[in-house]
Each structure stands twice: as C-alpha cells, then as structure tokens.
C-alpha cells in the first residue's frame, strides 16, 4: 500500500486524502460531501479514501489522530490538513486556494 500511496500523492494532480473508518459516523456524513466536491472539481483534484484500520502505518505517518481527517497533497507534500466534517463550499474554497 505504501508505494502505491506515494505514487498517488506525488502525481501532478492535487490529491485530497480522506482518512476514515467503517465505524465512524461523521465519516459517513463526509462521504457524499466529498462526492459533490469531486463532481464540482472534476479532473483538478483526485480524492482518495484510506481506511485507518487497514492502513495504521499511513495514519501514524501523517499523524491522523481522529477520523475523518482530510489531507491535501500537492506534488507529494501535505499542504493542508483538517479533522472533522466540513461543508462542500468550505472544502471547495480550501482546494481552490491551494491549487
């Protein structure tokens, strides 16, 4: 998983990683919001979901202490990180200001 994750986040396209867990209620709330964000942003951003229970080393590497946590990667570097559920417009604003 690690090498493919690195390959994904170092792409030319910005990558928003959603660290989530199956048992997490707020994560379920965030999922459809992220789908709307993807629909609005199109090819400008990739959205990737990472299950923290299946990938604990990745969660630890990026200091994900709670779920959901979103991290925006640009050319492999984390440029923004936020825990909790954000609304679509807030996420869009953050993405646009970082792209």
Options 17, 27, 30, 64, the catalytic residue: 27
Select which of 8, 13, 21, 24 is catalytic: 24
Q: Is the pLDDT of residue 2 over 90?
A: no
pLDDT digits (tens, 9 = 90+) for 25-64: 999 999 999 999 999 999 999 999 999 999 999 999 999 9
Judge whether 27 counts as a catalytic residue.
yes
pTM: 0.95
* Crossing angle of the two packed helices 88-98 and 25-41, in degrees rounded to 10: 50
Measured CA to CA in angstroms, residue 59 lies from 5, 52, 53, 71, 93 at distances of: 12, 6, 9, 11, 25
pLDDT number for residue 50: 97
CA-CA distance, 86 to 71, in Å (whole number)?
Answer: 13
44 belongs to the catalytic site: no
User: Is 2-98 a CATH 3.30.565.10 domain?
Assistant: no
Domain boundaries, the chain: 2-98
């Amino acid at each position: 998983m690690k090498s493919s994750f690195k390959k994904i986040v170092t792409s030319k396209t910005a990558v928003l990683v959603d660290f989530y867990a199956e048992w997490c209620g707020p994560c379920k709330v965030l999922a459809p919001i992220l789908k709307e964000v993807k629909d609005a942003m199109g090819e400008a951003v990739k959205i990737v979901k990472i299950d923290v229970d299946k990938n604990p080393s990745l969660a630890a590497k990026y200091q994900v202490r709670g779920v959901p946590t979103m991290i925006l990667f640009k050319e492999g570097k984390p440029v923004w990180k936020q825990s909790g559920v954000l609304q679509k417009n807030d996420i869009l604003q953050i993405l646009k200001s970082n792209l």
